Amino acid sequence: MDTFMDLYFEEVFSNIDRDGLNERFKRRELVEYFNTVITGCARGQNVSDNTTCKNFVLSALRYHNNCKTNNGDVCLMGKYHNLLYIAMKLAFDWSLQDNGVVAALLDELYTCEKTFERIFLGAIFGTSAPHFLAGWKSDFADKEENVHALVFFLDHATNACLEYTEGNITYRFIDVPLESCGRASPVRVVIQMGLSEMLMILLRFGARITSEASTNPVESILDRLKEYNRVYPYELVSCLKLILRATPKVEFTVNKQVFEDLELPDDYNYQRRMALEKYGEILEDRLIPSSRCGIRPVELKHLCRCCVRELLWQNFELPFGIQKLPIPIALKRYLDLCED
State mean pLDDT over 67-80.
93
pLDDT at 136: 76
Residues in the chain, total? 340
Q: Which has more confidence, 71 or 252?
A: 71
pLDDT tops 80 at residue 265: no
Check: CB of residue 102 under 8 Å from CB of residue 91: yes
DSSP state of 178: B
State mean pLDDT over 14-21.
92
> Distance (Å, rounded) from C-alpha 250 to C-alpha 247?
7
Check: CB of residue 313 under 8 Å from CB of residue 206: yes
pLDDT tops 90 at residue 257: no
Predicted model pTM: 0.91
Q: Which has more confidence, 337 or 255?
A: 337
Residue in 58, 67, 63, 109 with CA at minimum distance from that of residue 85? 109
Identify the band that residue 81 occupies on the pLDDT scale cut at 50, 70 and 90. very high
pLDDT tops 70 at residue 101: yes
Q: Which has more confidence, 2 or 251?
A: 251
Alpha-helix residue ranges (DSSP H) falling in the chain: 2-11, 24-45, 49-69, 78-93, 99-113, 117-125, 129-134, 143-159, 186-193, 196-204, 217-226, 234-246, 270-284, 300-314, 329-335
Q: Which has more confidence, 16 or 211?
A: 16
What lies within 8 Å, CB to CB, of 110 at 6+ separation is 116, 164, 176
Q: What is the pLDDT of residues 103-150, one digit of tens each?
A: 999 999 999 999 999 999 999 988 776 666 666 788 898 999 999 999
Q: Which of 212-216, 218-222, 280-284 has the lowest mean pLDDT?
A: 212-216
Mean residue pLDDT of the chain comes to: 90
Q: What is the pLDDT of residues 159-206, one digit of tens each?
A: 999 999 998 999 999 999 998 888 899 999 999 899 999 999 999 999
Residue in 155, 195, 340 with CA at minimum distance from that of residue 187? 195
Q: What is the pLDDT of residues 217-255, one digit of tens each?
A: 888 899 999 999 899 999 999 999 999 999 998 888 776
pLDDT at 211: 46
3-class state of residue 116 by DSSP: coil
Percent of the chain predicted with pLDDT > 90: 67
pLDDT at 266: 65
> Distance (Å, rounded) from C-alpha 71 to C-alpha 63?
12
